[in-house]
């Protein structure tokens, strides 16, 4: 049975900060950001957007390609930006998507790895329930303290994809190399809004885990390195993925995988799959029947390397034009506004637009209040 990704889409904020603007404000050479870490812009989120609102927008795009959304039996929400230690963020998404009540909904957490964990869980479920479909969402918004090395890697986005049999986008292969080890390279205690990290340790463990995972993948699959045609990496920043590619694969299409991440910033659980969408949208050649390698790294840490085959006619499901339009239509903000939004404050007299048709109104009595916009 062929199982994998049948449709895939992403969403991010309507607002961005140019890293050239940030570099000037921080008195840093822009090349340190653009060349040194491979980033040009970062998505910035107003108070009316959060991981739920952008998740719903991404999910609506993939559901619109389905014949019947009642085929969805499970919704898995992968995130490290959860705002509730009990209630799943996926419950809000389930409500606004108007999915059936006979549907499992839960969150998964393990830094940036959790969406891959969700994919592998979904694959196993489809084996036993071949007529079912699983909706997976990876949604994160990440902040680092101002004037830190992490600041220019901030960003956020949501990716949504449907896992089913006979997929139209990617057929997941049955082997994977996995590596789990306890490392304090990135963490966010429940009382903090911003993540803590050891950048050098994280980069070291990322590359070490890549070596181990790929070696285990080769032993399980009995494939040669030449069997991998393209590779997508988790991209906390573009330079990290480029280093990983140069270390083992040297795939020339690495730049195509990073086009979207370079103007969004780190989207954590969504990052790897946005690299995949970027490859699908921007690679010049037809990649039908090509094998794509995927490396996921979640600090703390869990890493996995797996692969999939692109089916014939995959291009019929792509939404390249709208993806490019979503990014090109974004609104650039000034550094003063970035600093206000960093502190989650509305700018007096300014109306912030939502990327989709759900807005977050605020928090009342410790409850998050969402509303569907009337003009959508």
Bridge partners of 363? 368
Catalytic residue among 49, 80, 173, 304: 80
CA-wise closest residue to 7 among 48, 45, 58, 56: 58
Catalytic residue among 112, 213, 232, 251: 112
CA-wise closest residue to 330 among 355, 350, 308: 355
Tokens read off for 360: 């977050």
Strand (E) positions, 37-117?
A: 41-44, 72-78, 104-108
Which residue is it, tokens 């220019």? 152
Catalytic residue among 234, 251, 275, 304: 234
Q: Are 263 and 15 in contact (CB under 8 A)?
A: no
Strand (E) positions, 104-229?
A: 104-108, 133-142, 155-165, 170-180, 186-187, 196-197
289 is an active site residue: no
- Give CA–CA dist 226/3, Å, rounded: 24
Rg value, the chain, Cα: 19
Q: Would you say the C-alpha torsion 3, 278, 43, 329 has a positive or negative sign?
A: negative
Q: Are 204 and 300 in contact (CB under 8 A)?
A: no
49 is an active site residue: no
Tokens read off for 43: 């998505």
Q: Which letter does DSSP use for residue 152 in this model?
A: G
- Give CA–CA dist 370/352, Å, rounded: 15
Q: Are 108 and 78 in contact (CB under 8 A)?
A: yes
**For residue 95, how far is the Cα from the chain centroid?**
22
213 is an active site residue: no
Q: How, if at all, do strands 170-180 and 302-309 pair?
A: antiparallel
Active site residues: 80, 112, 234
């Amino acid at each position: 049975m062929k199982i994998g990704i049948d449709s895939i889409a992403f969403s991010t904020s309507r607002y961005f900060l140019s890293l050239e603007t940030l570099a000037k404000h921080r008195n840093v050479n822009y090349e340190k950001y653009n060349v040194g870490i491979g980033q040009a812009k970062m998505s910035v989120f107003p108070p009316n957007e959060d991981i739920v609102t952008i998740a719903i927008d991404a999910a609506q795009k993939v559901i619109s390609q389905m014949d019947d959304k009642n085929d969805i039996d499970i919704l898995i929400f992968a995130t490290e930006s959860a705002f509730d230690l009990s209630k799943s963020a996926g419950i809000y998404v389930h409500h606004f998507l108007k999915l059936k009540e006979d549907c499992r909904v839960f969150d998964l957490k393990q830094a940036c790895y959790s969406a891959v964990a969700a994919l592998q869980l979904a694959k196993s479920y489809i084996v036993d329930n071949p007529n079912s479909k699983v909706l997976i969402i990876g949604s994160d918004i990440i902040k680092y303290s101002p004037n830190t090395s992490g600041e220019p890697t901030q960003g956020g986005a949501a990716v949504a994809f449907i896992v089913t049999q006979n997929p139209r986008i990617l057929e997941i292969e049955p082997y994977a190399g996995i590596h789990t080890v306890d490392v304090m390279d990135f963490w966010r205690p429940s009382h903090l809004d911003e993540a803590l990290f050891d950048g050098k340790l994280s980069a070291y463990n990322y590359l070490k885990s890549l070596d181990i995972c790929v070696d285990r993948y080769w032993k399980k699959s009995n494939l040669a390195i030449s069997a991998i045609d393209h590779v997508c990496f988790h991209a906390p920043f573009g330079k990290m993925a480029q280093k990983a590619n140069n270390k083992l694969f040297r795939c020339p299409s690495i730049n195509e995988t990073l086009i979207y991440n370079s103007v969004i910033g780190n989207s954590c659980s969504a990052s790897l799959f946005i690299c995949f969408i970027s490859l699908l949208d921007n690679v010049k050649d037809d990649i039908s029947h090509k094998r794509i390698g995927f490396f996921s790294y979640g600090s703390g840490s869990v890493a996995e390397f797996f692969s999939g085959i692109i089916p014939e006619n995959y291009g019929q499901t792509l939404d390249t034009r709208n993806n490019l339009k979503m990014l090109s239509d974004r609104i650039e903000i000034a550094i003063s506004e970035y600093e206000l939004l960093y502190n989650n404050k509305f700018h007096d007299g300014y109306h912030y637009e939502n990327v989709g048709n759900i807005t977050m109104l605020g928090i009342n009595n410790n409850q998050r209040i969402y509303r569907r916009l009337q003009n959508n």
